Amino acid sequence: MIPPEDERDPRSLLGPLSELRLRELLTEVQERIEQIIEARDHVDGLLEAMLAVTSGLDLDDTLRTIVHAAINLVDARYGALGVLGPGEDLAEFVFEGIDDETRAEIGDLPKGRGVLGFLIINPKPIRLKDMSHHPASVGFPPHHPPMRTFLGVPVQIRDEVFGNLYLTEKANGLPFTEDDEAILRALAAAAGIAIENARLYEQSRIRQAWLEATREIATELLAGSETVDVLQVIADDALELTRADSTFLAVPDDPQTPSDDVTELVVTVSAGNVPDRVIGGAIPLEGSSSGEAFRSRMPLRVDRLAFDPGFDATTPFAPPWFSRFVPPNR
């Protein structure tokens, strides 16, 4: 006998559609729980990254740590931090994800053109599903790995834009999300503080090192040391202070010759990666970087050290070089 409709067990009214809806609800709850766990993991990862980038005081190490942390936080394959120089060019490009062999095949590092330049001119976060579709895109040089998805965020120190963080190729070919952008913006804020601290520490370290170097040179002079020994101290200190690969010091052959009458300089001492055969070599003032610094009595920075063709001993040296002349007291 079938009971009247109003006396049926309510559970018997759960038909297939109701059961399907229940499964959907359970699935939705599970997904939300997973999202909460994922969000918590992102927050934990962000906090760890912020602690990592703010813990160091060496500027170069700090920049590399920032790039590494950014890649891990948003699951990117490639990452870079472009440091702004004068104008709208990049003075430095710290990257991760491209091996040394590929880097050598690509050639020169980016200077800030295309999409990278767009972010320099418009320092606001930008997310792209495909870089090639952006109006500012100029493509990639030969041997450059393919890159489509893109996320860029400026790094500021107070009101100054220090550079930009660039991330490409999110895992599994997915586009970068709003969450990725929010995370990277938070990291960029921490990066700005870390870079400022590293800069201040570096300035303090350099200032202290210059004081110590000046004291050391003054001590040698007051002790009556030989001229060549004092010059060697200067070359050694310059190598350490500038963190250069090589330094050499070139002076007029006769220190009594008036500056206007000097036609060449003689390499007297060196430090670092300088071949022994360079010592004693003559550098003509005409057509040489050292000659230009000598005549102008001003510091000179060049991308490639220029020499007269007769001074072939310097050809193994790699740029950049910093050539400086300090006028003598007369």
DSSP 76-97: EEEEEEEEE-STTSEEEEEEES
CATH code at 225-323? 3.30.450.40
Task: Decide if 121 contacts 129 (C-beta within 8 A).
Answer: no
pLDDT value at position 24? 61
Alpha carbons 170 and 182: distance in angstroms, whole number = 15
* Across 235-247, average pLDDT: 85
pTM above 0.85, yes or no: no
pLDDT value at position 315? 39
Q: Is 50 exceeded by the pLDDT of residue 170?
A: yes
Per mean pLDDT, which range of 150-154, 168-172, 192-196 is the poorest? Answer: 192-196
Cβ of 42: how many Cβ atoms within 10 Å?
16
Could you say which of 3.30.450.40, 3.40.50.300, 3.40.47.10, 3.10.20.90 is the CATH number of the domain covering 16-201?
3.30.450.40
Q: Is the peptide bond before 320 cis (omega within 30 degrees of 0)?
A: yes
- Name the residue ranges covered by the structural domains of the chain: 16-201, 225-323
Per mean pLDDT, which range of 65-69, 84-88, 149-153, 187-191 is the poorest? Answer: 84-88
Task: Decide if 265 contacts 291 (C-beta within 8 A).
Answer: yes
Q: What is the per-residue pLDDT across 63-121, written as a single tens digit (0 to 9) for each?
A: 999 999 999 989 999 999 999 987 778 889 999 999 989 988 888 888 888 898 899 99
46 Cβ partners below 8 Å, 6+ apart? 73, 183, 186, 187
